[in-house]
Structure formats: structure tokens, C-alpha cells
Amino acid sequence: MSTPFLDPARARILPWLVATAFFMETLDATIVNTALPAMAASLGANPLQMEAVVISYLLTVALLIPASGWITDRFGARPVFLFAIGLFSCGSLLCALSPSLPFLVGARIIQGMGGALMVPVGRLSILKAYPRSELVQVLSFITVPALIGPLLGPSLGGFLVDYASWHWIFLINLPVGLIGALATLRFMPDLPVPEKPAPFDRAGFFLFGVFMVSATMAFEGIGELHLSYTPMVLLFLFGICNLVVYCLRARHDDNPLFSLDLFRIRNFSVGIFGNLFARLGNGAMPFLTPLLLQVGLGFSPLKAGLSLIPMTLAAMLVKRIIRPLLKHLGYRWLLFCNTLALGALIAAFSFIDQDTPYPWILALFTVFGMVNSLQFTAMNTLTLLDLPDSLASSGNSLLSVVMQVSIGMGVACAAAILWEFSGEAVTPGSPELLQAFHETYYCLGAIAVMSSAIFLQARHTDGSAKHAPKTEEPKQRQQ
């Protein structure tokens, strides 16, 4: 295999290099979840108030996704990719050395900056380096690690916490990062950059970023910082005002960050709002469930991590039946019914207690993983279904941003609800704490059920043979 930019040796190694970056990023997005109680104990924090460790990473990734393409065009794929690996590795080292929770959150932001650039820049280098005839094979290869990372993350995190310490979930990135940096210098091509990169909407980037940060921090302020509702509501409204200003400005901008023409496409609007509100219910599950197993039921970190494997395996296997289901039901009824089922399954987690047989817990996790994967894939495919080529890049970028922000807001929302119900009842395994978890799952399930009405706005015909899925699901951070 060779290309205009690659000799045969580089053509063989480059996919492995990008695949490794995908693996590092997806692994790190999930490996933290089972280590949160151990981190809290080490840093002297409340285990129910560790959501900032997750949210800071997700929000940083979401903020930088819109700028990644412009940065690559401005500075080149190889320098940016090398910088991203270095930044990710530096952030990982700082995470491992963190003496306090605020320090750890700051280190996670640095790590998120590197992660936000590694994946899109790596994918872009593949798109530029290989001919179209080879893209399907190469892209299929590099996305496999994106599926393996979430599968190994919780169990590997639990293993390292049980047999070493939580610091090692970050330290293992260092040798991989070093090898990746050396391989980048040796094998990544110095691809040509445009002589005149497209203008970047800096004002739009600022306005949209303020909206994302304000909306997420409003939820987190209630859950982690225990701030009163009034300033948090005002902060949320401030974020909404920035979004409104962005929309008004984008109507008259020749090169907006995200074109408002996207929302004239019915399925895109349904998919975006469905992603936003449905993920408020289920986006917090990878954060909340390891806490339930460890703090609520007293599982060890390793047992909690291993317990989540059936959920991820089921999510991978169910993708084979999505196309036949869509042909039979169409997007409208599949997503409506599946969202109702998803909400019911989230609420069913409230029946888990110390007396629940372990096989029944694993069975519930397996069914939830199947329904959850079906939901994500169908939602994301519906969103991109009718995008014209001229809006495909902008639409895919906005979908990726919404996915990250909604998961972050879901984690913040779940943490706020859990804190309201638990108060000071943080004794592991106490009936009061377990009841707080149960009530939180009820609320998250209700949010998911209410979001099902959004999908009734999709057309009856979508999902037929004429509208069969044409795009793969964008890479997910947490499932």
C-alpha cells in the first residue's frame, strides 16, 4: 500500500499510530469511572462529588472540537498531532501527581486539550494521506480501538486501583505517549497545508464556548459546590443569552462556527435535540453506576469494573441488528419505543440492592447495554442522514460537540440529584445512601422517557430501504 504522501513503510505504520491515539483517548475517558471512590479517599473528597473529574475532561474536548480542523490547517497535521500527544501525556503525569481535587481537575483539563486534538487530527491525516478507494479499510481499522477502549477501561481501572493505586490509571499513558511521539516523528507524513486557511469564527467560538461552560457549571454548582439555586439559574440563563447572541450573529456571518442552515433539515434538528435531552438521562450512567456498585453495594473496584464488561460487549454486538430493525420500524418508531425502553431500564437500576442476585445485575447491565447502543447509533445516524455534502463537516462537528456537552451535563445533573437526595448520607452501604441512588435513577429514567416525544417529529418513511443508514456512528466517549 502506498500513497502520494506515504512510502510503503509509513503507509503500514500510520494507521497503527492513529489507532493507538484513538485507544488512549477512549480508554482514558472510561478508565477513571471505577477509580473515583479511591481518588476521593486519597484526596480527602466526598465520593459523591467527584463529577468534576469527568466533566472537566468532556467539556474541554467539546470546546476544542470545533477548532481542531482550523488548527490543523494552520499548523499542519504532524506538528499538531505531536503537540497533542505531548499535552495528553503531560496532563496524565499531572493527574497522577495531583495532591488535591482542584489540582486533579486542572490536570484533566490539560489532558482533555490533548485528547480533543489527537482524535480529529489523526482522522484528518488519514483522510488526506490515503486515496478514497482505501479509506473504508483504513478507517475501519483505526476505529476498532475506539470500541476496545471502553471495554477495557472500567475493568483495567478497577484492577489498577485494587493491585496498585489509582495513580497508575494515568501513569500507564506515559510510555504509550513516548512511543507515540517517536512514531509520529518517524512515520507521520508532513502533509501540505492550505496556503490560505479558511477564516475561523473566533467570536462565534467564544460565544458558543461560554454557553457550554455556563450551562454545565450551573448544574455542577448545585451538585458539587452546593451553591444556591438562584445564582446557578442566573448562570444558566447567562449561557442561554450567549447562545441566542451566537444564533443572531450566525445568521449574518459568511463563515459561522456552525451554520444555522443545519436546523432547516428536519432530521438533523430532531437528532440534535434528541441527543441533547436523551443523553441527559443516560449520559450519566457510566459515572453513576460504578459509584452505585462501590459506594452503594460495597463492591471492590475490580469487581465493579468487571461487572460493566457485559454492558459494553452487548453494546458492540447489538450493532449487527440495527439495520434490520430500522428497515422494519423506521427511525421514528424505533427511537420512540427504544427511548421509552431506555428510560424504563434506567429506572430499573433502582431495584438493585444488597439482596439482588449478582446474575440478575449482570443481566440488567447486558440488556441496558444493548438498548443504549441501539439508541446512540440510531440517534446519530438520523442526525446525519439527510445532510448535503456542503453541510456534512459542520453537522458532524456540531453533533460531536453536542454529544460531549450533553454527557457532561448529564453527569452534572445526576450528581446534583444524587446530592439532593443523599445530603450527608455518604456512609458506604447505608440504606439512606442506597435509597438516594434509587431515587436518582428514577429521575434519570423519567428524563429519558420525556425525551422520547422528540423522535415523534421524525418522518414515517425514514429508515426504509431508500433511507438506509449511510454513515457510521461518530465515536462515543463514554457508554
Reported as a single tens digit per residue, the pLDDT across 325-358 is 877 778 888 889 999 999 999 999 999 988 899 9
Please give the Cα distance from 278 to 281 (Å, whole number): 6
Q: Is 305 helix (H, G, I), strand (E, B) or coil?
A: helix
Backbone angles phi, psi at 266, to 5 degrees: -55, -50
- What pLDDT shows up at residue 136? 61
Reported as a single tens digit per residue, the pLDDT across 455-464 is 888 776 555 4
In Å, the largest CA–CA distance within the chain is 66
Please give the Cα distance from 231 to 238 (Å, whole number): 10
- What pLDDT shows up at residue 472? 42
- What pLDDT shows up at residue 156? 87
Please give the Cα distance from 259 to 394 (Å, whole number): 7
Cell readout for 10 is 509509513
Q: How confident is the model at residue 15 (pLDDT cuts 50, 70, 90)?
A: confident
Tell me which residue of 470, 475, 467 sits closest to 331, measured CA to CA.
467
Q: Which helix (H) or strand (E) holds 222?
A: helix 202-223
- What pLDDT shows up at residue 441? 94
Cell readout for 234 is 442566573
Cβ–Cβ under 8 Å, residues 36 and 47: yes
Q: Which residue has the higher pLDDT, 426 or 347?
A: 347
CB atoms within 10 A of CB 201: 22
Reported as a single tens digit per residue, the pLDDT across 246-265 is 988 888 887 888 888 888 88
Q: At residue 1, does pLDDT exceed 80?
A: no
Tell me which residue of 406, 300, 418, 440 sits closest to 46, measured CA to CA.
418
- What pLDDT shows up at residue 5? 54
Q: At residue 63, does pLDDT exceed 50?
A: yes
Please give the Cα distance from 441 to 308 (Å, whole number): 17
What percentage of the chain has pLDDT greater than the value 70?
86
Cβ–Cβ under 8 Å, residues 25 and 145: no
Reported as a single tens digit per residue, the pLDDT across 360-416 is 999 999 999 899 888 888 888 888 777 787 777 778 788 888 888 888 888 888 888
Cell readout for 67 is 477548532
Q: How confident is the model at residue 469 (pLDDT cuts 50, 70, 90)?
A: very low
Tell me which residue of 243, 241, 259 sits closest to 201, measured CA to CA.
259
pLDDT (mean) for 71-84: 85
- What pLDDT shows up at residue 342? 92
Q: At residue 241, does pLDDT exceed 90?
A: yes
Cell readout for 298 is 460495597
Reported as a single tens digit per residue, the pLDDT across 287-328 is 889 989 998 888 999 999 899 888 888 888 887 777 788 777
